[in-house]
Amino acid sequence: MHDTDLLVIGAGPTGLFASYYSGFRGLRVAVVDSLPELGGQITAMYPEKQILDVAGFPTIKGRDLVEGLVAQAATANPEYFLDRTATKLMHDADSVTVGLDDGTEIRAGAVLITAGIGKFSPRPLPAGEGWLGRGLEFFVPSFAPYAGKDVVIVGGGDSAFDWALHLEPVARSVTLVHRRDAFRAHARTVEQVRSSAVRILTKAEVTAFRGDGVVESVDVLADGESMTLPAQAVVAALGFIADLGPLQEWGIEVEKRHVVVDSAMRTSVERVFAAGDITEYPGKVRLIAVGFGEAATAVNNAAVAIDPSAHVFPGHSSEGS
């Protein structure tokens, strides 16, 4: 059994900022995450991506943002429980106890859920069955392995276009294959890719992988025309299957796989708050910048739940302690 004031579930950007802010409020904080590293989806999926919506930084690389958040959170001396999943929630008169999948139990005055989209797994590419690790990947954590290669990226969302844009100056060639002629990616990024040397094939799908042990080429059916493309690397950026997992069994109100909160970031369960992409309320915008603000709101209101004599607004961090 571990005791803390606030237990944060999720070690992505919102959870890390919440950890720092807990320290600013004088709270002991513990952080649980099912991934083995800090940084959430950024670390797992796009550490090299340039992030454009963080105040004060015209652009910042994903891994640099995480590094700064980890350093900031360190000032609160958080206790990390990584590579572990929160499974059970139990209430006492003035505390909440969360059980982890390894048998650990953490008792806290309040819980803050910052789990993003929850546990996630990539959507499979049917033609790529058996090729994972043999040229097929779902993430691009580093650009260096793609230098001088012919790369085929499958998908039409932000990740597909971001990776196409960043791999274009590194790879020998980049081809983006999408089953429709409309894209879900940000319009600005789409235009940047269209203006680059990336080849875009729409109304298209990869139908087969070819190679001796590792992929050497792929068959593509594009608008009724069959073709074979050289490809020593294929990135399947088809999105993710998100699962809130055991959180759905905690009695928390959920709407379309998101946790419903009020203006104080309170969930429907006493002493349980939420912030970041996992939350849902009228007018919700899912940006990292929004998550930071929600984290501060949640921690300040959780501080009052933990100690009713505390004030919601503690003053500005620039005023010191």
Q: Indicate the annotated binding residues.
A: 14, 33, 41, 46, 86, 120, 277, 318
Map residue 243 onto helix, strand or coil.
Answer: strand
β-pairing, 2-9 with 105-113?
Answer: parallel
Phi/psi of residue 67, nearest 5 degrees: -60, -45
Annotated binding-site ranges for FAD? 14, 33, 41, 46, 86, 120, 277, 318
Question: In whole angstroms, how large is the CA radius of gyration of the chain?
Answer: 22
Residues forming a β-bridge with 32: 9, 81
Show the CA angle centred on residue 121, arms to residues 41 and 153, nearest 5°: 80
Tokens for 76, please give them: 């609160």
CA distance 4 to 101: 19
**H helix runs in 122-266, sequence order:** 158-167, 187-194
Measured CA to CA in angstroms, residue 23 lies from 106, 138, 172, 300 at distances of 18, 36, 48, 11
